[in-house]
Amino acid sequence: MTTHRICLLPGDGIGPEITAEAVKVLEAIGRRFGVRFEFEEALLGGAAIDATGTALPDETLAAAQSADAVLLAAIGGPKWDSTDPDAPRPEQGLLGIRKALGLYANLRPVRIFEPLIGASTLKPEALEGVDMLIVRELTGGLYFGPRAREREVEGAGAGGSRGMRAYDTCVYTEMEIERIARVAFEAARGRRGRVHSVDKANVLESSRLWREVVHRVHDAEYADVELADQLVDNTAMQLIRYPAQFDVILTENMFGDILSDEASMLTGSLGMLASASLGDGTALYEPSHGSAPDIAGQGVANPLAMLLSVELMLRHSFAMHEAADALARAIEGVLADGWRTRDIAGPETLPQRTVGTSAMGDLVAERI
């Protein structure tokens, strides 16, 4: 029997609750499709800081590197928020593992589930035909460039300001842009063949290099794909105005972070958006939402973004397309039958069909 080894990183907040549902559903998939999933759990983020003093312990990295795939829930929470630049931060775990595994491509599919159209704040007609993939560069840009906090020279700032100043630097190399551009163009070939490359080339030098390199890769290797440049501020507006125009959105790290949260609202809830982070080695799958500390421990978190991340894992890491289809159908079926967690419940939801995290996991697992 084939065995797939999965490193589980439940993290913080609602992380452990939604991870339990992922395991439940994977076990159901294992039974139905005759494969074995082996799980190894490791600490990341705030939970790791509490236990070891660091957000990414060496054992966690080793467990992730030796697994066939990594499934991460979410990290962070107010307990570890600090303005002390020397204090360990949960995000260091997330950024550290992305960097260490070389996960430079983050894929976030945004699709509308018909039964949830009412959960979106947009009019139903604005959502017709929405099916996009956001390809976000994940290991470059502002999140990884040189940064510092230093004492500013007295009188140097406007109005003679003094005290501290801080900066982060957005750095991209041609190689980083080339490889993420290829991911986007390849993805577009398997979809509707259209890429919007999003930048801020009217202001930023890094964006001008971005645009130049994306076009060079396109013209040399992917001339069959339609390519359009779009400024990030315009994209933020177009995502709400006419989201169906987008097929693949290719963008850098921070723009992708912000635009994908915005795009998640097309689907009605952050609780419905999954992501795959791919590089040259072990891939990592995680929901796009955070650790939702406001609802942690209450058993009401929506596990579906986590389960949709499992679907991506089945496809990209294990080539289990039949199982991935079965999982997608199970989720669609549960939603079509009116079952909702609180975040996606609408005025039309029957009170008896509003369920918690564990019951939602059961409903999906039963349908596998």
Give the closest residue to 337 by CA, choosing from 25, 131, 114, 123. Answer: 114
Q: Which is closer to ligand NAD, CB of 25 or CB of 188?
A: 25
Give the closest residue to 67 by CA, choosing from 25, 9, 17, 106. Answer: 9
- Marked catalytic residue, from 12, 24, 104, 143: 143
Please say if 84 is a catalytic residue: no
Q: Quote the least distance from Cβ 262 to ligand NAD, whole Å.
A: 13
Q: Which is closer to ligand NAD, CB of 94 or CB of 183?
A: 94
- Structure tokens given for 26: 């994977």
92 φ, ψ (degrees, to nearest 5)? -60, -30
Q: Which is closer to ligand NAD, CB of 221 or CB of 362?
A: 362
Q: Quote the least distance from Cβ 306 to ligand NAD, whole Å.
A: 7
CA distance 285 to 103: 11
CA distance 29 to 23: 10
In sequence order, the β-bridge partners of residue 227 are: 195
Please say if 233 is a catalytic residue: yes
- Marked catalytic residue, from 233, 280, 294, 337: 233
CA distance 127 to 121: 10
Q: Quote the least distance from Cβ 333 to ligand NAD, whole Å.
A: 20
Give the closest residue to 124 by CA, choosing from 133, 132, 114. Answer: 114
> Which secondary-structure segment (H or E) carries 10?
strand 3-11
- Marked catalytic residue, from 68, 99, 168, 200: 200
Q: Are 212 and 177 a contacting pair, CB within 8 Å?
A: no
Q: Quote the least distance from Cβ 322 to ligand NAD, whole Å.
A: 27
Q: Quote the least distance from Cβ 155 to ligand NAD, whole Å.
A: 36
Please say if 200 is a catalytic residue: yes
Q: Which residues of this protein are in contact with ligand NAD, per CB under 6 A?
A: 14, 74-77, 94, 270-271, 286, 289-295, 301-302, 305, 343
Give the closest residue to 273 by CA, choosing from 281, 283, 262. Answer: 262
Q: Which is closer to ligand NAD, CB of 14 or CB of 213?
A: 14
Q: Which is closer to ligand NAD, CB of 9 or CB of 135?
A: 9
Please say if 337 is a catalytic residue: no
Residue appearing with tokens 């957005």 = 170
Please say if 257 is a catalytic residue: yes
**Which residues are identified as catalytic?**
143, 200, 233, 257, 261
